[in-house]
Structure 1
């Protein structure tokens, strides 16, 4: 597992380097069939990650790869789940809140997660045994992998708080999310914490927020890495339809609404 974690971290960092090369240019934006944006950075990052992950012989589910039919995926005991550039809208806005997401899923459960923030060189990852998650701000993208493991600091969620910090946006709340927050506000002081991409998971995992309600569509590659990081620090990522943890490599890669909480 340590080898797979090292590979995923190296892939995420190098993908981040390629993303930043495009970030500083006057890049073009395409629109995919599902109306989501696509840039050259998405493509370049995906190429880099595939180059790292293919030698592991573990199949890959990536937003930018051709999706395989469930008949071809259903017997996989494990797979990589990848979003080479999570938060393309944030990338286009140039606000820095976009990430590289790489997760390893075993029997539907994310057991390894890596999230890298290219602009700030911030790296989040699970330990190889998935019993904790760590964070490091890289001095350089050329840092040795052993130095990352040595210098990264364990993160943990906040359990008790006078103010309930909820990940969301006051200006972009759908009705379900607004109702959820209104219910909490009846008995608690609430603060809304806003962040783009999979950084929403990281906010809760490192104690900068308490709850992340996602009552809007997401795909498995949007959540797998963040889910792994949250689970490793003892958080639950609960499917609101089944009241059980999210499951991966499903027939339909679309997630149900979910809630991240301690």
Structure 2
């Protein structure tokens, strides 16, 4: 896809994420989340489903196939020949949503030949909007307002995220509010053994990718299960900033629309 077409699709994904965020907030501010549990014991709320409905209303118009956490996804035999597909998590961080701590996001990415080429991460509570065009090598951040029209300056230089200078004295490591485990703690101990001062930065959902992209953290080790829709949008935002999202074991870039949509453990830095 040429860059103007990518920005057109990126704008569509941004609009979808903001409208989905509004739908999520209506339920977040209500007394009833309608929480139930899936077969894997992960929670599902009305907000997950309503957000998915809103996003699908935008993306189905593109005729590009869609993989979403809340859709019944096609078997790999039907997916394996897709050159391009959407990857969607309508509400990433459902546990954070239920806890009402605000650290949940809407994630939308476009995948080409297994690689994220655009990504949107929207934070409904704070209205922070992160988005990236990987082919242009640009990530952006704005605060979305409640106005119907998106700002015309979405891709202006003033909205662009710029690489932050890293502190030579302290390594900031992203930890999960819900998933800190023994292997992560061991990784942190190894950094300390190398003589580094380590500071833990805790965040929920795909915000972990965003704070590394912003330079508010240096490294995000993930040695716990995630699905492709959890990571694709954040992966795009980090890649456009010149960062790597790599397989913990092989050091190769994470890939998408695999036969098994479960990610390997990974490292962002």
Q: Same fold (TM over 0.5)?
A: yes
Cα drift, residue 254 of structure 1: 0.2
Q: Deviation digits for residues 103-130 of structure 1, max 9, x if unmatched?
A: 0000000010000001111000003734
Which residue among 217, 226, 244 is the counterpart of 2:252?
A: 244
Aligned to 1:21: 26
Instruction: Give SS of 1:156's match.
Output: coil
Contact residue 159 and residue 210 of structure 1 kept, 8 A:
no
Aligned to 1:87: 93
Q: Which runs of 5+ in 1 are unaligned?
A: none
Aligned to 1:235: 243
Q: Deviation digits for residues 136-173 of structure 1, max 9, x if unmatched?
A: 01233424242433486221344531210000159953
Matches of 2:177 and 2:25, distance apart in 1: 30
- Change over 3 Å in CA distance of 1:141–1:200 after alignment to 2: farther
Alignment of 1:107 onto 2:110: no
Contact residue 91 and residue 106 of structure 2 kept, 8 A:
yes
Alignment of 1:75 onto 2:75: no
Cα drift, residue 77 of structure 1: 0.2
User: What is the count of residue pairs matched by the alignment?
Assistant: 261
Alignment of 1:184 onto 2:191: yes
Q: Deviation digits for residues 226-254 of structure 1, max 9, x if unmatched?
A: 00000000000001132200000000000
- Change over 3 Å in CA distance of 1:142–1:76 after alignment to 2: same
Instruction: Give SS of 1:252's match.
Output: coil
Which residue among 34, 41, 49 is the counterpart of 1:43?
A: 49
Matches of 1:69 and 1:172, distance apart in 2: 29
- Change over 3 Å in CA distance of 1:137–1:149 after alignment to 2: same
Contact residue 106 and residue 121 of structure 2 kept, 8 A:
yes
Alignment of 1:222 onto 2:234: no
Aligned to 2:220: 212
Cα drift, residue 174 of structure 1: 1.2
Matches of 2:180 and 2:154, distance apart in 1: 37
Aligned to 2:10: 5
TM-score by length of 1: 0.95
Alignment of 1:255 onto 2:260: no
TM-score by length of 2: 0.93
Instruction: Give SS of 1:194's match.
Output: strand
Q: Which runs of 5+ in 2 are unaligned?
A: 1-5
Q: Does 226-235 or 238-247 show the bigger shift? A: 238-247
Alignment of 1:174 onto 2:181: yes
